[in-house]
Amino acid sequence: MFLEDILKDGFVNYKKVYELAEENGIKKTEVKRQKALLGVKSVHVDGEEGGTLWLWFIPKNVWKRYSQTQ
C-alpha cells in the first residue's frame, strides 16, 4: 500500500506525501482512503521564525521504531 510504504520509517510532512502520490499517479482521494484505513495520525509542529509542519505517521510504526531505542 502506497501510504504504508511512505510512512514506514516514521514521520513525513503531509505535503511530501501528496507530492509523492502525485508523482506516482495516486489521487488525493486514494491517499485519504488509505490514511483512514491505516489509522494515520498527524502532529502539528511549530518551528522557528513562525514556520509550521504537519507530520503524518502510523502509530504502530512509530512505537516499534522508538520503543526499541530505550
> Which residue would you say has higher pLDDT here, 44 or 50?
44
Backbone torsions φ then ψ of 41, nearest 5 degrees? -115, 165
Would 51 be classed as within a structural domain? yes
Domain count, the chain: 1
3-state secondary structure of 52: strand
* Of 22-26, 45-49, 57-61, highest mean pLDDT: 22-26
Q: Grid coordinates standing for 5?
A: 510504504
Quick one: CA dihedral 2, 7, 12, 13, positive or negative? positive
Would 65 be classed as within a structural domain? no
Would 40 be classed as within a structural domain? yes
Average pLDDT, the chain: 91
Q: What residues make up the domain containing 19?
A: 2-59
> Which residue would you say has higher pLDDT here, 64 or 25?
25
Say yes or no to pLDDT of 50 above 90.
no
CA distances, 25 to each of 4, 13, 50 (Å): 16, 19, 33
Would 49 be classed as within a structural domain? yes
Would 64 be classed as within a structural domain? no
Would 15 be classed as within a structural domain? yes
